[in-house]
Structure 1
Amino acid sequence: MPLPAGRRWDVLTVPGRLGRPALAVLEPVSCGPVLTETGEEQVSFLVPVGTAAHWIGTGVRCAGEGTWTVVPHPGRGSRAVRWLVPPDGSGRLNDPVLLELALHEAAAGLGGW
């Protein structure tokens, strides 16, 4: 179901080869909701509103106010997208600072992205 970004959350989308290792870094710290598309070529992190407008990073697609994102019902997936980390009902999102650090760590592990 397409939902508007920039109201309750923004979305930062990275290539899967960077996003999966970043997710592995974040998970022990209690990761917020994370989506992937079929084939896992892209990984999308839900972050606080306003993050997309200020994010600076190569290879990161940002969706904030004025954009829409396909989001499956929690606990379900669709043909297009599925949850890697579903929302838990608490409203917790990914911390942009921790996400940035995880992306840097993942990039370093890939030989400097």
Structure 2
Amino acid sequence: MAYAMRFELHGAADAWLADCSADPDRVRHAWGTEALAPITGGKRWLAAEMNLVTAMKALTRVGQDRAGPVLADPATEQAWWLVPPDAADELADVTSVRVQPAGTPLHCPPTGWQAHGRFWLSRPDGSGRLTDPVVLAAALGPGH
């Protein structure tokens, strides 16, 4: 199976992401069929949604060394930054960001390749590192 070989390449990152789900086996099964896996935010992270171009500009300002995972969907022109579960208050006044409420599923590909057009602009690294919402807000700049 293609996923088994790919899983070895990105094992820690995929394991972390799958373990963020209430049903890690369901996530791995979805990835094994090259489908997106619904992973519910709230337990370990929330998804901060924004326009894809805005997210790419912010990622450049934040830098890969300080960025947590960022998922991109070019077809919908959206991106999602994984931020700590308490980040909603920090990002409440940032008009270009919509923090998804806890319990909202984010349909994720595995960390090593794209699925259904979605891919990781900044991949999870397996450590659980997330983007600091204060850093993200600063990277978006005034008026965003």
**Distance in 1, Cα, partners of 2:46 & 2:120:** 16
CA deviation after TM superposition for structure 1 residue 40, in Å: 6.6
The 5-angstrom pairing of residues 15-30 of structure 1 reads 15-27=51-63, 29-30=65-66
TM-score, normalised on structure 1?
A: 0.83
Structure 1 residues 73 and 29 mapped into 2: Cα distance closer, same or farther (>3 Å)?
Answer: closer
CA deviation after TM superposition for structure 1 residue 30, in Å: 2.3
| Contact preservation (8 Å) 1:38, 1:79 | no
Higher helix residue share: 2
Higher strand residue share: 1
Name the structure, 1 or 2, with higher relative contact order (CA <8 Å, separation 6+). Answer: 1
CA deviation after TM superposition for structure 1 residue 45, in Å: 0.5
| Contact preservation (8 Å) 2:54, 2:140 | yes
Q: Which protein has the larger Cα radius of gyration, Structure 1 or Structure 2?
A: 2
**Distance in 1, Cα, partners of 2:53 & 2:111:** 24
| Contact preservation (8 Å) 1:13, 1:42 | yes
Identical counterparts, % of pairs: 37
Structure 1 residues 65 and 88 mapped into 2: Cα distance closer, same or farther (>3 Å)?
Answer: same
Structure 1: state its 5+ residue gaps.
Answer: none
**Which residue is equivalent to 1:7?**
43
CA deviation after TM superposition for structure 1 residue 31, in Å: 1.1
Structure 2: state its 5+ residue gaps.
Answer: 1-36
Asked whether 1:72 is paired with 2:121, we answer: no
> Counterpart amino acid of 1:86?
R
